Amino acid sequence: MSNLHLIFISNRATQRLLRLLSVMESTTVFTIGEMAEKMQVTYRTIANDIKFIKDYFVDCVTLTSGHTGFSFKEINPLKYRERKQNLLKNECFFEIIKNIFLGKYMRVDELAHHYHFSESTFRRLLGQSSPILAEYGLKWGLSPLTIEGNEANVRKFFKDLYYESSDMTDTLVPDSELPKCFMNQLQEKFGHNDIGSITAPAAFYYTLYIAIQRARIGFSVAVPKELMALARKGKSFVLICSIKEVIKNIYGTDLSEEEFAWIYLVTICERTVDREETEKNFYLHFNHGAEIANLTDEYLKEFEVEKDIKDQVNSFLRSFFLSRKINHILAPVLNKESPNIKERLLRSNNENYYRNLRFLRKNQQEGFLATPYLEDICVSLTIYNNLVFNFCAPSKNIYFLLEGDHYASQQLRTQAVQHFGTKHSLTFLPLKSLTKEQLNEASVDLIVTNYSRYISEYVIETDYLLIKVVPDEQDWCRLERKINPYKRKLF
């Protein structure tokens, strides 16, 4: 469960327990001391929580202790999720926020009475959750209780809250009629999407559903004129607008052209990582001025991108920076990323993250990078460029010279194919091909061997990597870095 959800849990013990479970899910192995320090509670509290988890989730998870600490494992994910949801059955704020979303408002004193709080306690609980609203540029409105702020920010908050809410009980799910009407209307027209997007289906339906419901109770978004004009020219925009009458018939809501432009623009800013022509089209359609091109050129220069992939990477990064700029123009908060994603990224790829952050800060003086969400842009840039560099890395011709136990060698061969066989050409040299001439062919990019004598016997001039007879994880990491120096582990 993310911090966005945890902050709205009024019961401190429940909040701590769910936070503890979130840490367990991401680390799997931990000590009581580490957990006590992270949660800022006593050893005894953590020990008691672990006992409760063992008893309450007895048929859902295993918690076993060993010399390295406790090991956590889910054995029945569905039941585990249901049990976590049961912990929230007496929590009121998710129901309150859901009613606010639906336009059902009550005064603070009425809500306090309804949920059996004193008014002062209820106001204190509201104050505890105010910082998370402030991250979205929002605040509580108290007469009646509502969420106040720019409508774009409100929609971003609701989408973040509900889209990743599998552990919540009072959540919102777009009803089944929405995908049906969309697919029935547009199924045959898919494939004519000129500038593309890789937004997930559910993410799109949440954007659409939130727009419908907010418009239904009288709230609307504003789209700048220049973006409206560009949206109108997109084939995809025309497709989305074609469901206007269907939405009106089902929901009784007449979405404006500006609402459809909002849905369209938010959706297309989720860029692809493997469709270069699509990214070029997106850039040509929406870019004006030299800001994005200059920023991308500076990035490529600073990161010393290899010449053979520079043009391809350039297409993707221009598109990425442009998508962040469009988000910023619509509403800066649209570039906000989940703190949980940032935390996981920093655990596995912090070097690349901080390198990107230094670059962004250097170019932060004006434009779309002059934003309080710069670190969020850095998170998405770090993830995106890792995927793009991996995609753009050239396919290599790799020779393997393997010795040792027959079955161990076959396992090594199988692992190599699983790791690298999709993108690269792998050759496992038979005895008859084991010659100096064959090994030093110009077309061979890398030789991998677990037999050191081959290096000296055949005077290998081609780039090579010597690994252990039975490779360990470090060997596989070295090989992966040798093949693609840009690739970094994510999460």
Compute how many other C-beta atoms are within 10 angstroms of the C-beta atom of residue 331. 22
pLDDT level of residue 95 (50, 70, 90 thresholds): very high
Compute how many other C-beta atoms are within 10 angstroms of the C-beta atom of residue 56. 14
**414 CB-contact burial (10 Å; exposed 0-12 / middle 13-18 / buried 19+):** exposed
Q: Which residue has the tokens 């889910």?
A: 74
The set of residues, in sequence order, having a beta carbon less than 8 Å from that of 3 and lying 6+ positions away, is: 132, 339, 340
C-alpha–C-alpha distance, residues 71 and 73, integer Å: 7
List strands edge to edge, sheet with 464-466: 425-428, 397-401, 446-449, 464-466
- Of the candidates 449, 440, 458, the one whose C-alpha atom is nearest the C-alpha of residue 482 is 449
Mean pLDDT of the chain: 89
The DSSP string of 288-326 is -SSHHHHHHHHHHHHTT--HHHHHHHHHHHHHHHHHHHH
Please check whether residue 319 is in contact with residue 283, taking contact to mean a CB–CB distance below 8 angstroms. Answer: yes
The set of residues, in sequence order, having a beta carbon less than 8 Å from that of 80 and lying 6+ positions away, is: 57, 60, 61, 74
For 199, how many CA atoms within 13 A lie in the half-sphere containing its CB? 22
Q: Is the peptide bond before 144 cis (omega within 30 degrees of 0)?
A: yes
Can you say whether the dihedral through the CA atoms of 301, 303, 304, 308 is positive or negative?
negative
Please check whether residue 455 is in contact with residue 403, taking contact to mean a CB–CB distance below 8 angstroms. Answer: no
At 491 the pLDDT is: 52
Segment 385-392 mean pLDDT:
90
- What beta strand segments (E) does 33-79 contain? 61-66, 69-74
C-alpha–C-alpha distance, residues 247 and 181, integer Å: 8
The set of residues, in sequence order, having a beta carbon less than 8 Å from that of 213 and lying 6+ positions away, is: 101, 102
- Of the candidates 416, 417, 403, the one whose C-alpha atom is nearest the C-alpha of residue 469 is 403
C-alpha–C-alpha distance, residues 77 and 71, integer Å: 16
C-alpha–C-alpha distance, residues 166 and 163, integer Å: 8
Q: Which residue has the tokens 């369209």?
A: 264
Q: Which residue has the tokens 């809500």?
A: 111
Answer yes or no: is pLDDT of 198 > 90: no
* pTM, to two decimals: 0.88
- For residue 384, list its beta bridge partners: none
Answer yes or no: is pLDDT of 179 > 80: no
Segment 10-20 mean pLDDT:
94
**pLDDT digits 0-9 by tens, 352-378:** 899 999 999 999 887 899 999 999 999
At 246 the pLDDT is: 87
At 349 the pLDDT is: 67
Segment 282-299 mean pLDDT:
95
At 444 the pLDDT is: 86
- Please state the φ and ψ torsions of residue 437, each to the nearest 5 degrees: -65, -45
Which two structure tokens, joined as six digits, stand for 97? 């926020």
- What beta strand segments (E) does 402-474 contain? 425-428, 446-449, 464-466
C-alpha–C-alpha distance, residues 154 and 34, integer Å: 37
At 413 the pLDDT is: 92
**pLDDT digits 0-9 by tens, 105-161:** 999 999 999 999 999 999 999 999 999 999 999 999 998 999 999 999 999 999 999
C-alpha–C-alpha distance, residues 144 and 140, integer Å: 10
